[in-house]
Amino acid sequence: MLFFDAANPAPNPRRVRIFLAEKGLKVPTELLSIMAGDHKKPEFLAVNPLGQIPALKLDDGEVITESIAICRFFEALNPDPPMFGKGPKGVAEVDMWTRRVELRLGTPLSMVWQHSHPFTARVVVPQYKDFGESNRPKVNDALRVFDSALGDRPWLAGKDYSIADIALLCTVDFATFIGMPVPDDMPNLTAWHARASARPSAAA
């Protein structure tokens, strides 16, 4: 198999790298440059017509895209340590928090990134800057949801580190990159971020 990766600050490929590191897995990798537009070149579009990274090409030629789907594939092959929850309730809680990361935080953050950041101005035409800026309060509102939840637990879905924490770490770090760090009045989220960042896998 071959994993198509991209360097930081791209958050979605990083999710898979952290997940693989937590599992102790090494996968053949091809590193693409988003800044150079490698993900839009014909060679990669033949792998993923959506032109998005990451992608995982299997030995039989089939391709899996979307970071969480790729992680689920590796989870099924390597169930220990479990990263998608334990038991029916644990699995549901991890899914719930992962969805909240993607929808409540990731969606408005992506609108800020696409429509108000100078890095994206050359590819998002036209940028609707007022719309982009209007999503900043939504990002902070979402961060406050996670800060509140982390007041009584070490990790997002409970006592075990999971894919929900990986998704949140990559999203929070990307938010910091585009100028939206965790506000000072969110101590629980700040402490969680320190714990998550201290794990060796965070450097993947």
Q: Please state the domain extents for the chain.
A: 2-77, 87-203
**CATH T-level fold of 2-77:** Glutaredoxin (3.40.30)
Residue 23 pLDDT: 98
Q: Decide yes or no: CATH 3.10.129.10 for domain 87-203.
A: no
> What is the model's pTM?
0.96
For residue 121, pLDDT over 90 is answered with no
For residue range 2-60, what is the model confidence (pLDDT) as tens digits? 999 999 999 999 999 999 999 999 999 999 999 899 999 999 999 999 999 999 999 99
Query: E-strand spans in 96-187?
Result: none
Q: What is the DSSP string of 40-85?
A: GSHHHHTT-TT--S-EEE-TTS-EEESHHHHHHHHHHH--SS-SS-
Amino acid at 154: P
Residue 152 pLDDT: 95
Q: 12: part of which helix (H) or strand (E)?
A: helix 11-23
